[in-house]
């Protein structure tokens, strides 16, 4: 492996390995500069392809990818493509960071990957059966392709391991927690950690004495209360289904609804599909899970679209109020994610009626700011409202660089 001088930068490759896709991005650290990114789609399906864009142009490969090993090989080929590649050689890769969905109760921070970490990810497969196996395939193949590089696991759940029992325990028999590990885990932790730190810097404050409510609003959505840099409550729970109403997920509901529908002929599979893929904005509106479509329909006076938008905003506002009560003071309210960053009208809906909590939006600033990083609250607002684009890939690159640097320091 080529040794790179610290001042010349180190190349970190970030990999997000899903069940049928593999996304990746290349960063020069510590400058935090993205050199390019790509994705392999339809792994183990017909019509597989790779698309990559970077400083040197774009690359496309159309080829069957029956497994993640083939996908990694396609990625390596694209990265070093003689015409439009991002790197001159794979030897330039100094470290590899992996997004891993579930770390269970074992990991409260990102870690260098060794056999014990791989075993732990496997043990938590029952908690994330759709994601952890795919994450593991990406790790194993990356260790094959980049054998001399530090490999780091960055867990979606790790940031929320600072929750107290009052926040993570359910009102169920204790034995269910002790035997089956049923508790609140929370997700989107990498995004919440990133935007909270960025928003605090933007506001010229210190994370050590700042309380933040972070709203990651997209097709998947969650809210996290952060006290002095530590997650103390979050809306997603044992799975990502709990909490806010989302694009296609129901969010919180009365558990008795499940039994009611089972008695009327719905199967567990029917309900699982309904609550995860046919509910939320899509199910309530009957139109779409895309906020833009619903905004257009609402403009035309569609009652179902109006209701869906109102329910979405109401539930977000309710969580903000609950978290404000528990963390006593809210210094920063941050919006991120596809809806949080781009949905100016939804931000307005949410913040309307929060003035009694000291969260006072400047509606003109909100419209003018749009999706950019910026402050959208009144100057006299006790709580600063900030729009902060998320960048989970960069956070993974930062963690990988910091952990890998310790091994060679």
| pLDDT given for residue 64 in this prediction | 94
**If you average pLDDT over residues 10-16, what whole number do you get?**
97
- pLDDT over 60 at 307, yes or no: yes
408: confidence class by pLDDT, cuts 50, 70, 90: low
For the chain, what percentages of helix, strand and coil (3-state, to nearest 5) are there?
45, 20, 35
Q: Compute the distance between CA of residue 203 and CA of residue 196 in angstroms, rounded to an integer.
A: 11
| pLDDT given for residue 243 in this prediction | 98
**If you average pLDDT over residues 361-385, what whole number do you get?**
98
Give tens-digit pLDDT for 152-161: 999 999 999 9
- pLDDT over 70 at 409, yes or no: no
Residue 98: Cβ-neighbour burial (10 angstroms; 0-12, 13-18, 19+): buried
**If you average pLDDT over residues 306-324, what whole number do you get?**
98
Q: Residue with structure tokens 């015409």?
A: 83
CB 38 within 8 A of CB 52: yes
Encoding tokens for residue 26?
A: 């290349």
**If you average pLDDT over residues 181-191, what whole number do you get?**
97
Residue 172 CB neighbour total at 10 angstroms:
11
| pLDDT given for residue 407 in this prediction | 66
Residue 67 CB neighbour total at 10 angstroms:
12
- pLDDT over 60 at 44, yes or no: yes
Strand partners, 255: none
**If you average pLDDT over residues 339-360, what whole number do you get?**
97
Q: Among 4-13, 96-105, 189-198, 219-228, which stretch is predicted with the lowest mean pLDDT?
A: 4-13
- pLDDT over 50 at 1, yes or no: no
Strand partners, 213: 225, 333
CA proximity to 16, closest of 132, 194, 138 = 138
Residues above pLDDT 90, as percent of the chain: 95
Give tens-digit pLDDT for 51-99: 999 999 999 999 999 999 999 999 999 999 999 999 999 999 999 999 9
Helix 68-79 / helix 132-145 crossing angle, nearest 10 deg? 50
CA proximity to 85, closest of 138, 1, 11, 7 = 11
How far lies 75's CA from each of 11, 20, 101, 133, 392, in Å?
15, 14, 22, 20, 20
How far lies 105's CA from each of 163, 175, 183, 320, in Å?
11, 16, 10, 26
**Eight-state DSSP code of residue 265:** T
Helical H segments across 114-220, by residue range: 115-123, 132-145, 165-168, 174-180, 189-202
408 versus 221: the higher-pLDDT residue is 221
- pLDDT over 70 at 380, yes or no: yes
Q: Compute the distance between CA of residue 338 and CA of residue 390 in angstroms, rounded to an integer.
A: 9
212-227 burial, b for 16+ CB within 10 Å, e for fewer? bbbbbbbbbbbbbbbb
| pLDDT given for residue 20 in this prediction | 92
Strand partners, 210: none
| pLDDT given for residue 2 in this prediction | 37
Residue 178 CB neighbour total at 10 angstroms:
9
Instruction: State the pairing for strand pair 374-375/332-336.
Output: unpaired
- pLDDT over 90 at 7, yes or no: no
φ and ψ of 96, to 5 deg: -130, 125
Q: Compute the distance between CA of residue 102 and CA of residue 236 in angstroms, rounded to an integer.
A: 13
Q: Compute the distance between CA of residue 30 and CA of residue 151 in angstroms, rounded to an integer.
A: 17
- pLDDT over 90 at 383, yes or no: yes
| pLDDT given for residue 8 in this prediction | 59
- pLDDT over 80 at 6, yes or no: no
φ and ψ of 297, to 5 deg: -65, -40
How far lies 352's CA from each of 199, 224, 332, in Å?
21, 20, 16
Work out the end-to-end distance of the chain between its first and last CA atoms, rounded to an integer number of angstroms: 17
Report, as residue numbers or ranges, the catalytic residues.
156
**If you average pLDDT over residues 391-401, what whole number do you get?**
98
| pLDDT given for residue 3 in this prediction | 36
Give tens-digit pLDDT for 261-287: 999 999 999 999 999 999 999 999 999
**If you average pLDDT over residues 355-372, what whole number do you get?**
98
């Amino acid at each position: 492996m080529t040794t790179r001088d610290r001042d010349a930068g180190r190349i970190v490759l970030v990999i997000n390995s899903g069940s049928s896709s593999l996304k990746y991005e290349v960063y020069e650290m510590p400058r935090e500069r993205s050199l390019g990114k790509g994705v392999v789609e339809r792994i183990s399906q017909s019509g597989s392809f790779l698309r990559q864009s970077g400083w040197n142009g774009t690359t496309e490969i159309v080829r069957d990818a029956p497994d993640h090993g083939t996908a990694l090989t396609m990625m390596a080929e694209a990265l070093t493509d003689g015409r439009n590649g991002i790197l001159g050689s794979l030897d330039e890769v100094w470290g590899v960071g992996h997004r891993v969905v579930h770390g269970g109760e074992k990991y409260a921070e990102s870690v260098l990957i060794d056999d014990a970490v791989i075993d732990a990810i496997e043990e938590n497969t029952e908690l994330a059966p759709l994601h952890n196996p795919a994450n593991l395939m990406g790790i194993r193949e990356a260790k094959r392709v980049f054998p001399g590089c530090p490999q780091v696991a960055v867990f979606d759940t790790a940031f929320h391991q600072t929750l107290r029992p009052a926040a993570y325990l359910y009102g169920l028999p204790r034995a269910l927690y002790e035997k089956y590990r049923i508790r609140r885990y929370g997700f989107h932790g990498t995004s919440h950690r990133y935007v909270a730190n960025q928003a605090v810097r933007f506001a010229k404050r210190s994370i050590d004495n700042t309380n933040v409510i972070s709203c990651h609003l997209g097709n998947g959505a969650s809210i996290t209360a952060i006290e002095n840099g530590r997650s103390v409550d979050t809306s997603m729970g044992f799975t990502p289904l709990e909490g806010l109403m989302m694009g296609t997920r129901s969010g919180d509901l009365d558990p008795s609804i499940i039994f009611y529908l089972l008695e009327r002929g719905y199967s567990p599979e029917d309900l699982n599909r309904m609550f995860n893929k046919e509910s939320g904005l899509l199910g309530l509106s009957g139109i779409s899970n895309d906020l833009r479509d619903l905004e257009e329909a609402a403009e035309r006076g569609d009652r179902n679209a109006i209701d869906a938008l109102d329910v979405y905003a109401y539930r977000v506002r309710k969580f903000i109020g609950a978290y404000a009560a528990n963390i006593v003071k809210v210094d920063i309210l941050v919006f991120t994610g596809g809806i949080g960053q781009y949905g100016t009208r939804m931000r307005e809906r949410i913040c309307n009626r929060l003035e009694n909590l000291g969260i006072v939006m400047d509606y003109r600033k909100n419209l003018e700011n749009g999706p950019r990083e910026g402050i959208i609250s009144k100057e006299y607002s006790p709580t600063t409202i900030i729009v902060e684009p998320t960048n989970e890939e960069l956070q993974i690159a930062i963690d990988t660089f910091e952990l890998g640097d310790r091994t060679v320091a």
